Amino acid sequence: MAKTHVSTCINGQDAEFLCSPEQTLLEVLRDTLHLTGTKEGCATGDCGACSVLLDGTLVCACLMLAAEAEGHDVTTIEGIASGNDLHPLQQKFLDHAALQCGVCTPGFIVASKALLDEDPDPDEESIRYWLAGNLCRCTGYDKIVRAVQDAAAELRS
Amino acid sequence: MSQSTSNFAYAMPASITDTVSLLSQASSNGVRCQVLAGGTDLLVQLRSVDPDPRTIVDIKSVPEVSRVEVSNSERGVFIGGAVSAATMTHHEGLKAILPGLVEAAYLIGSTQIQGRATLVGNLCNASPAGDTIPALITNQAVCEIHGPRGARSLPVEDFVVGVQKNALEAGEFVVGVRMPHPSARTADAYLRFIPRTEMDIAVASAGVSVTLDDAGVCSAARVAIGAVAPTALLVPDAADALVGSTLDEASLAAAGRACTAASSPISDKRGTAAYRRKVVAVLCERAAASAAERARAR
Amino acid sequence: MTDAAQFKYVGTRPVRPDGVDKVTGRAAFGADFTLPGMLHGLILRSPHAHARIKSVDLSAALEIDGVFAAISSADFPEVTDSGDMGGEGGGSIKDLSDNCMARGKALYHGHAVAAVAATSLAKARQALAAIKVDYEALAPVMDLDAALAGDAPLLNEEMMTQGLAEPATKPSNIASRMVMGRGDVAKGFEEADVVLEETYRTPTVHQGYIEPHACLATVNEGGQSTIWCCTQGAFEVRSYSAAVCGMSIGSIRVIPSEIGGGFGGKTTVYLEPVALMLSKTAGRPVKMTMSREEVFRATGPASAARSTIKIGAKRDGTITAMSARIHYEAGAYPGGPVPMGCMSVFSAYNVPNLAMEGFDVLVNKPKVAAYRAPGAPQAMFASECIITELAKALAIDPIELRLKNAADEGDAAPYGPTWGPIGLKACLEAAKAHPNYQTALQEGQGRGLAVGFWFNIGFQSSAEVHVNEDGTVTVIEGNPDIGGSRASMAIMAAEELGIPYENIRVQIADTENAGYTMVTGGSRTTFATGMAVVEAARDVIGQAKARVAKLWQVDADMVEWRDGQALPKPGMNVEQEPMSFAEIAAKTAPSGPLLGKASLNARGAGPGFSVNFCDVEVDRRTGKVDVLKFTAIQDAGRAIHPGYVEGQLQGGAVQGIGWALNEEYVYDADGVQQNAGFLDYRVPVASDLPMIDTVIIEVPNDAHPYGVRGVGETPIVAPLAATANAVAEATGVRIRTLPLSPPNVLAALDAA
C-alpha cells in the first residue's frame, strides 16, 4: 500500500514521516514517532486525552489524519516544557495535586495551554467549558480548575 | 472479500475544478470517494461503523472553501465548506449579525472538536440532531454546490433528505453556504437540550429568527427544529404563531405547541419520544424569547 | 498515638515523586510499551448477548499471511477450580477463565470468543473477519425482573441457588442468597410509631477509567513469561494468569505500568491470559489494547441493584428496626457485591433489630467488577434515601435524626464487630456547622444530605527501604500508584527516617522485585503498605543504630535516631558526633548495605464514614438537574497528604454525582449496549460541576502508626442519596430510581 510522505514541525523540530492514508495523527505520534505522552482514551474525540496543538489550535489527534499535518506545526505534551523548565501549568498541576492517575493530564495541560494562549485571565466558568472535552475520572476537576487559575495568575504576573 | 483490491488513498486538490474532477473520476471508476473537511465525523465513522477503504479528498487547499464573507449587499453572508466552528466563534462580524448560527456552531462538540469541525461538514453529515442545520434553515441558508454539471444552489431544508442522507449527486461537493444578511431588527437564536452541559448530541433543538417592526410587533419569523424527526424541520405553523404578536408569552407558547405538533421523534438512548415532544416546545419558546430580546436591542 | 502537631512531614502537601513524569508525558502507561518483533492481538467478541457456541473454526484466519496465532477456549486448559478468587471482586477461577474466553456459551454481547495475533492491526482485523463461529442464539436476560421471572431463560442450566433456607430443587438465575441480622425485626416494627417501606433501583454503571486496558506479553521457549500491563495488582495478574493459562506462578513476571485509573475495574484480568496464550502459540511478544467500546462492552461494570428497605421509628426519631432485601446483578457469572451490600446498608446506625437479605443474580451483561466501595453505593442509596424520607415523615431535621441513631465507638456494627473509634458523629456535626449548610436556597432549589461508609481493608503487603551510598533512600513497594500513593509512602518514610522528603524515591516494583503485595484496592494502600513502609523504615533505623553503637562501642539502647541522624541518647554520657545515613553507610560498609524490610498482614483497618450534602436546582420544564454546591466531609483517620485525600473526596463525589444523574448502560431488546462510548455514556464533564468543597475529619485509627484509615472508596457512597434527597427537596417529588436523568425526572414531575 502506498504510503504518504508528510513533512511537519513537531515540538519545534522538523519531522518527516511516512503514513498510510487512513492513519490518524495520534497513531503516527505514538507508534511511528514514539511520542507516547499523547494518550488514547477513546479514539472518537470524546475524552481529550490525545489533545495536541495544530498551529496553536487545540485539536484531538485521534480526529485528524496524519496526512493532514503536512506543512503544519504540531505541539504535543512533550513540547510544553522549555528545556528543563516546566511550564507554569505543569508546575501548578503538581503543586495543586491536580492529577491522580495522570493519564488525562497531558491532554489537560495541552488544552489548558491553548486556553491561556487565547485568554490569559479566564474565569472559572470559561475554564470549565473550555476543558469540557477533557475527561478526568479521578479528580472531580476541582483541583484542575484551581491549577489552571493559578497558572494563569502566574503567567500574567 | 472484494474490498481487498481497493485501498485507502488521500488526495488534496487545490481548486474547485480539480476537486470535482477527482470526485467525478472516482465515481465513474467505481471507487468510493469521500470529502474531508474537518474530519470529526468522518474519522469517527472510519473508526467504528464504516471502516471500508475509500479515497479521501481533503478540500482544505481549495481557496474558496476557507472564506467567510459578510456583506450588506445582495451577496449576503458566505461561509466556506472548510470553515471551522472555531473560526466562526472568533469572527466578530458573524457573531454580531448571526448570533444564533454562531451559537449552533459553538455547540458542536468540545473545544478540540471546534478546532476542526466545519459548519458545512455538520450540514453534509445530515444527522437529524446536527446543531447547525436548524440554525441554517431559520437563516434561509442555501448550499452552493459544484459538480460535473457546474454549479447549483439548494436551500438547506431541501439539501438534507433523510437520516444521514444529503442531496449531493456523484461528483458534487458543497463549496459553502450563503444566506441573506439579516435586515434591521432581525435576530436569531438557537437552543438545544442535552443531559450534560457539553459533549452531548442534541436530544431536541430549536432555531428561531424573528423580525420586529417599529412597534415591536413580529413581522416575520422562521422556526426550525432538530432531533425530533428524520431531518431538521422548518415549522411554518410555529412562525405563524409568532408573526403579528409582540412575542408575548401566549404566542411563544403557541409556537412551542406548533413545534410539538410538527415533531415525529423516536425513543432512543438519548431520550424518549414523549420527552422530545415536550422539550422541543420549551426550546422553541426559550429560543424565540432570546431572538426577540436580541431583535429589540438592534 | 503520635499527636498531629509533632509531625514534620505527615500532613504536608509536597509534589508527588512521580509528578514530573506525569506532567511531561514521560510516564509510561499500559499502551506505551513495545518490543521488537511484537505482534498485535485482537479479540473476536460475541455478537449475541446469550448464545450457545456450537463451533469455532480458526483455520481461515491462520491461513492469512502475517497471522501467527488464532486461539479459542479450546486452546486454554480447562479450569475446574471453583474456589473464590478473593479480593473485592468475587467469583471463581473457572468463571474468570470462561470470562476471558467463552467456553460453551457466550453470556453477553462482547464476550471474548476467539483471539488472533498478527504482524499488524490491519492483518489482525482481517483474521478476526475470517474466523467462523457457529452460534445458537438464545433469549437474553437483561435485568433483575427478567432474570427472576419463573420462566426466565437460564444462563447456567446447572446453577442451584446457594444459601436458601431449604436447598434449591431446580436451577435458577439466582446464584446465592445470604441473610444477616440481629434482634427481632417484627417486634421492632411493632414498637414503631412510623413504618416506611420503599423500593429503590440503581442502574448498571461503569468505572469509566480513562485508560483502556492494555498489556504486552511475551513467553519464551523455556516457558518463562513477562507481562507489562496496567493493573491495580500485579500479583493478582500473575496468579490469575497462571491459573487461567495453566502456568506456574513462578514462571510469570508481571511488570505493572503506570495506571490510568481503575476504581476496582483493574483488579481482575481480561487481556493478560489471552496475550500470554497468543504469545506462547506465536513465539513472539503480543501487545493487546482495548478500544473504548470494548472497555464498555466487556469489562467492569458495577452491579445494577434493587433494594427494598423497611424502617420503623418512634415519634422521637428512635429507629426500632430496619430490614433490607437487596438484589444485585452479577452479570454473566456469580460474584455481585452481595456481602458488602448487606454489611454496609445499615452500617451508620445503631439499631437493635436488623435483617438483611441479599441475592446474587445472573444476567446477560459483562461479569461485574469491583467499583469503589463495591455494593455500598447501591445499598446505601436506598437506606440513606429512606432515612431522609423518615425524617420528613417525622418532621425531624435529617442531620438530627441521623445523629440520634448514629453508630459510635463501642456499638456493635451490623455485621458483628464492635466499632472502635469512628468519625460518623464528628462528620455529622461538621456538616451541621458548615457554612454551606446554612446558606439560603432559592425557589426551585433543594438541599440533600447522606452518609457514606466503607470497611477499608488491610491484608498482605511488603516494603523495602534501601539506604544509598550518599544517604538518599529508595523505597521499594508493590502497589501500583493510582492516585498519589508514592507521595504518601515517601512522606511516611521521611517522617520515620527524619530525612527530607526530596531524598526519598519510591519505586513501584514488579512481581520479582517487590515482596508479595495485595492489590491497590480496598482503600488499603496507604494503610497496609504504608504500615510496611513504616516498619521497613524502623527496621533500617534499628540496623543503623546497632552499627553506630558498635562503632561507638556502646550498647544499642544508648543510641537514638533523630532528624535523620544517630546520636547519643541524652544523659548516656557518650561523647560522639551525630552520624547521618551517608556516614553510617560509608563507615560500616563491611557489614553490607543498609536495607530494611517488612512483610506483614495488616490488621485493624479503620472503617471510614462520610457525610455529603449538596444543593441542586431543577428545571421543571426539562427535568434537568444542576448541582450548584457540593460538600464532602469524611473521616480519614489521618491525612498523610491532605491534597490527595481531598482529591479522593472530590473524585468520588463526582463519580457518585454521575451515577446519580446520568450514567447508565442502555440496552436494546437484543441485549446490545447502545451507549458503549463516552459520547452517550455520560460521565460528568468539567462544566457540569461546581467546586467540590471538602472537610477532612481526623479520628485516628489506632492500628496504623500514623492513624490512617484508608479514604479511597467511602467518597462514592453518599453522593447518590445526597443528590436524590436534594432533588426531592427541590421538586417535592421523591424519585427512587436512578439515574435522575432529564427524561426520568420530567416523567416523574409530570406523573406527580
The CA-atom distances, in angstroms, between A123 and each of A115, A152, C403 are 11, 10, 39
For A7, left (φ over 0), alpha (ψ -120 to 50), or beta? beta
Q: Do C291 and A43 touch (CB under 8 A)?
A: yes
Contact yes or no for B44 and A133 at CB 8 A: no
Average pLDDT of chain B, as a whole number: 95
Q: At what angle do helices C93-100 and C234-245 cross, to 10 degrees?
A: 80
Q: Does A68 touch chain B (CB under 8 A)?
A: yes
Interface touch A36/C32, C-beta < 8 Å: yes
Nearest Cα of chain C lies from the Cα of A86 at a distance, in angstroms, of 8
Taking CA–CA distances from A133, the nearest residue in chain B reads: B110
Interface mutation vs chain B, best among A38, A54, A55, A60, most B CBs within 10 Å: A60
Q: Flag whether pLDDT at B239 surpasses 90.
A: yes
Are the C-beta atoms of residues B182 and B98 closer than 8 Å to each other? Answer: yes
Question: Taking residues C138-145, what's their average pLDDT?
Answer: 98
Domains of chain A, by residue range, sit at 4-79, 88-156
Q: Which residue of B has its CA nearest to A51?
A: B112
* CB contact at 8 A, C375 and C337: yes
Q: How far apart are CA C580 and CA C563, in angstroms?
A: 9
User: In sequence order, which residues have a C-beta less than 8 Å from that of residue A79 and are 6 or more positions away?
Assistant: A10, A11, A12
pLDDT at B5: 45
Domain boundaries, chain B: 2-58, 64-179, 186-297
- Beta strands C504-508 and C473-477 are parallel
| Residue range C512-535: mean pLDDT, rounded | 97
Note the ipTM here. 0.98
User: Hey, is the C-beta of C318 within 8 angstroms of any chain B C-beta?
Assistant: no
Omega cis (within 30) before C739: yes
The reply to whether A35 touches chain C by the CB within 8 Å rule is yes
Q: How far apart are CA C533 and CA C479, in angstroms?
A: 12
Separation CA B132–CA B145 (nearest Å): 18
Q: Contacts of residue C131 in chain B, CB cutoff 8 Å?
A: none
Q: Which of C685, A126, A76 is nearest to B109 (CA)?
A: C685
| Residue closest to C436 by CA, chosen among C408, C486, C399, C402 | C399
CA distance C650 to A97: 12
Q: C122 in contact with B at a CB cutoff of 8 Å? A: no
Taking the Cβ of residue C132 and every Cβ of chain A, the question of whether any pair is shorter than 8 Å is answered with no
B3: pLDDT confidence band, cut at 50, 70 and 90? Answer: very low
Residue C607 and residue C423: Cα distance in Å, rounded? 9
Per-residue pLDDT, C588: 87
Q: What is the CB neighbour count within 10 angstroms for residue B140?
A: 17
pLDDT(C89) > 80: no
Restricting to B residues 197-256, those with a Cβ less than 8 Å away from any Cβ of C are 197-201, 203
Distance from C-alpha of B120 to C-alpha of B180, rounded to nearest angstrom: 17
Between A and B, how many residue pairs show a Cβ–Cβ distance under 8 A?
91
Region of poorest pLDDT, from B46-55, C224-233, C308-317: B46-55
Residues C727 and C735 sit within 8 Å (Cβ to Cβ): yes
Query: What's the DSSP call for residue B242?
Result: H
B146 within 8 A of B173, measured Cβ to Cβ: yes
Percent of chain C with pLDDT over 90: 95
Residue C82 predicted with pLDDT over 80: no
Q: What is the CATH number of domain B186-297?
A: 3.30.390.50
Which residues of chain C does A47 touch, with a Cβ-Cβ cutoff of 8 Å? 210, 292, 678
Question: Crossing angle, helix C398-405 and helix C376-394, to 10 degrees?
Answer: 110
Cβ under 8 Å to C: A residues 37-96: 37-44, 46-47, 49, 76-78, 80-81, 86, 90-91, 93-96
Nearest CA to CA, how far is C675 from chain B (Å)?
Answer: 7
Over chain C, what is the mean pLDDT? Answer: 96
CATH no. for A4-79: 3.10.20.30
Interface residues of B toward A, Cβ cutoff 8 Å, are: 7-10, 12, 36, 39-40, 43-44, 46-48, 53, 56, 58, 60, 86, 109-113, 115-116, 197-199
The HSE-up count of residue C452 (CA atoms within 13 Å, CB side) is: 36
Q: Do A39 and C212 touch (CB under 8 A)?
A: no
Please list, in sequence order, all residues whose beta carbon lies within 8 angstroms of the beta carbon of residue B73, skipping any fewer than 6 positions away.
B181
Q: Chain A closest CA to B44's CA: distance in Å?
A: 5
3-state secondary structure of B63: helix
Question: Looking at residue B133, what is its pLDDT?
Answer: 98
C-alpha gyration radius of chain C: 27
Give A88-156's CATH code, choosing from 1.10.150.120, 3.30.428.10, 3.30.360.10, 1.10.1740.10. 1.10.150.120
Compare all CA atoms of chain A with the CA of C657 and give the residue at the minimum distance: A140
Q: pLDDT class for C589, splitting at 50, 70, 90?
A: confident
**Residue range B120-138: mean pLDDT, rounded:** 97
- Residue C621 is predicted with a pLDDT of 97
Q: Are C232 and C259 in contact (CB under 8 A)?
A: yes
Q: What is the CATH T-level fold of the domain B64-179, as seen in this structure?
A: 3.30.465
Which of C12, C13, C16, C23 should one mutate to test binding to chain A, selecting the residue with the greatest count of A CBs within 10 A?
Answer: C23
**Helix, strand, coil distribution of chain C in percent, nearest 5:** 30, 25, 45
Return left, alpha or beta for B12; rule: phi > 0 is left, psi -120 to 50 is alpha, else beta.
Answer: beta
CB B173 within 8 A of CB B19: yes
Residues 6 or more apart whose CB falls under 8 angstroms from that of C64 comprise C118, C123, C126, C127, C130
Q: DSSP alpha helices (H): ranges in chain A? A: 25-27, 88-95, 105-118, 124-130, 142-156
What are the tens digits of pLDDT across the range B179-200? 999 998 999 999 999 999 999 9
Q: How many CB atoms lie within 10 A of CB C474?
A: 15
Whole-angstrom distance, CA of residue C21 vs CA of residue C441? 44
C692 in contact with chain A, both atoms CB, cutoff 8 A: yes
For residues C343 and B3, give the distance between their C-alpha atoms in angstroms, rounded to a whole number.
57
Asked if C687 lies within 8 A of B197 by C-beta distance, the reply is: yes
pLDDT at C85: 66
Q: Is A13 helix (H, G, I), strand (E, B) or coil?
A: strand
Closest-CA distance, B270 to chain C, in angstroms, reads 7
Contacts of B41 in chain C (CB under 8 A): none
pLDDT, tens digit, for every residue of A18-74?
A: 999 999 999 999 999 999 999 999 999 999 999 999 999 999 999 999 999 999 999
| Region for residue B297 given its phi and psi (left: phi exceeds 0; alpha: psi -120 to 50; beta: otherwise) | alpha
Partners of A132 on chain C (C-beta within 8 Å) are: 685-687
Distance CA B64, CA B145 (A): 12
Residues of chain C with C-beta less than 8 angstroms from the C-beta of B200: 679-680, 682
Residue C1 has pLDDT above 50, yes or no: no
Report the sign of the C-alpha dihedral through residues C377, C379, C383, C388, in that order. Answer: positive
Sheet with C225-229: list strands edge to edge: C67-72, C112-118, C39-45, C286-289, C214-219, C225-229, C252-256
Cβ separation of B112 and A133 shorter than 8 Å?
Answer: yes
pLDDT score of B253 more than 60: yes
**Given A48, A57, A63, which is nearest B86 (Cβ)?**
A57
Whether the CB of A2 is below 8 Å from some CB of chain B: the reply is yes
Q: Is the pLDDT of residue A147 over 80?
A: yes
* Mean pLDDT for all residues in chain A: 97
- What the block records as the C-alpha cell of C479 is 502497589
Whether the CB-CB separation of A34 and A10 falls below 8 Å is answered with no
Residues of B in contact with A57 (CB under 8 A): 86, 115
Question: Is the CB of residue C236 less than 8 Å away from at least one CB of chain A?
Answer: no
The yes-or-no verdict on residue C4 having pLDDT over 70 is no
| The pLDDT value given to residue C79 | 85
Instruction: For the beta carbon of residue C150, count every other beta carbon within 10 angstroms.
Output: 5
What is the enclosing helix (H) or strand (E) of C490? helix C485-497
The residue-averaged pLDDT of B248-270 equals 97
What's the confidence (pLDDT) of residue B4? 39
* Partner residue facing A45 (CB), from B9, B40, B86: B40
Residues forming a β-bridge with B174: B145
Angle at CA of residue C597, ends C596 and C599, nearest 5°: 165
With CB atoms and an 8 Å threshold, state whether A59 touches B112.
yes
How many Å lie between the alpha carbon of C241 and the closest alpha carbon of chain B?
A: 30
Q: Which residues of C touch B271 (CB under 8 A)?
A: 742-743
Beta strands (DSSP E) in C248-318 are: 252-256, 286-289, 305-313
Measured between CB atoms, does C592 come within 8 Å of chain A? no
Residue C657 has pLDDT above 60, yes or no: yes
Beta bridge partner(s), residue C31: none
Instruction: State the CATH class of domain B2-58.
Output: alpha beta
* DSSP-derived secondary structure letter, A49: T
Helical H segments across B126-224, by residue range = 132-138, 156-159
What would the DSSP string read from start to end of B101-126? HHHHHHTSS-HHHHTT-BHHHHHHHT
Grid cell, residue C253, equals 513476571
Taking an 8 Å cut-off on Cβ atoms, the answer to whether B271 and C688 are in contact is no
The torsion angles phi and psi of A135, rounded to 5 degrees, stand at: -85, 135
Q: Which residues of A touch B44 (CB under 8 A)?
A: 44-45, 63
- Touching subunits for chain C (3+ Cβ pairs under 8 A): A, B
Angle between helices C234-245 and C272-282 (to 10 degrees): 50
In this prediction, residue B48 has a pLDDT band, given cuts at 50, 70 and 90, of confident
Q: What is the pLDDT of residue B1?
A: 33
Of the pLDDT bands very low, low, confident and very high (cuts 50, 70, 90), residue C90 is: low
For chain C, how many helices (H) and strands (E)? 19, 26
Q: pLDDT band at B49, cuts 50/70/90?
A: confident
Q: Which residues of C72-96 are buried (b: 16+ CB within 10 A; e: fewer)?
A: bbebbeebeeeeebebbbbbbbbbb
Model confidence band, residue B298 (pLDDT cutoffs 50, 70, 90): confident
- List the domains of chain C with CATH numbers: 4-27+458-602 (3.30.365.10), 33-138+211-260+266-298 (3.90.1170.50), 305-456+606-751 (3.30.365.10)
- Contact at CB, B39 and A64, closer than 8 angstroms: yes
Three-state DSSP at A34 gives coil
- Please count the other Cβ atoms lying within 10 Å of the Cβ belonging to residue A75: 20
A4-79 matches A88-156 in fold: no
- Chosen for mutation from C210, C628, C678 (greatest number of chain A CBs closer than 10 Å) is C210
Give yes or no for B195 touching C (CB within 8 A).
Answer: yes
Q: At C124, which helix (H) or strand (E)?
A: helix C121-130
